[in-house]
């Protein structure tokens, strides 16, 4: 697998993480900002495991899309009560 083949999924993931951070600050959602840090740590762990296990592109894109949907769900504001 070429090293540069990780760039598209990495850029996509980075963009939605930055967008999530922006919306978290905009909504003053400090709990989500903390959680975003956890997701970044998990992404780094995934990258380290990928170096040994050589995940397929489909797996990497699937994990990234799952992360995007997870971030979107976490940013939905629900009424209190």
Please determine, for residue 3, whether its predicted confidence score (pLDDT) is greater than 90.
Answer: no
Residue 64 has a CB neighbour count (10 Å cut-off) of 19
Non-local CB neighbours of 25 within 8 Å, separated by 6+ positions: 33
Please determine, for residue 79, whether its predicted confidence score (pLDDT) is greater than 60.
Answer: yes
Query: Which pair of structure tokens corresponds to residue 78?
Result: 């629900």
Tell me the C-alpha distance between 68 and 81, whole Å: 27
Asked whether the beta carbons of 71 and 20 are under 8 A apart, the reply is yes
Q: What is the pLDDT of residue 24?
A: 94
Q: What is the pLDDT of residue 80?
A: 83
pTM: 0.86
What are the tens digits of pLDDT across the range 24-76? 999 999 889 999 999 999 999 999 999 999 999 999 999 999 999 999 999 99
């Amino acid at each position: 697998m070429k090293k540069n083949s990780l760039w598209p999924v990495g850029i996509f993931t980075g963009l939605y993480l930055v967008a999530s951070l922006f919306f978290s600050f905009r909504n003053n959602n400090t709990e989500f900002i903390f959680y975003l840090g956890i997701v970044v740590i998990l992404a780094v762990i995934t990258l380290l495991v990928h170096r040994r296990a050589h995940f397929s592109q489909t797996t990497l894109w699937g994990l990234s899309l799952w992360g995007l949907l997870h971030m979107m769900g976490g940013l939905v504001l629900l009424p209190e009560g």
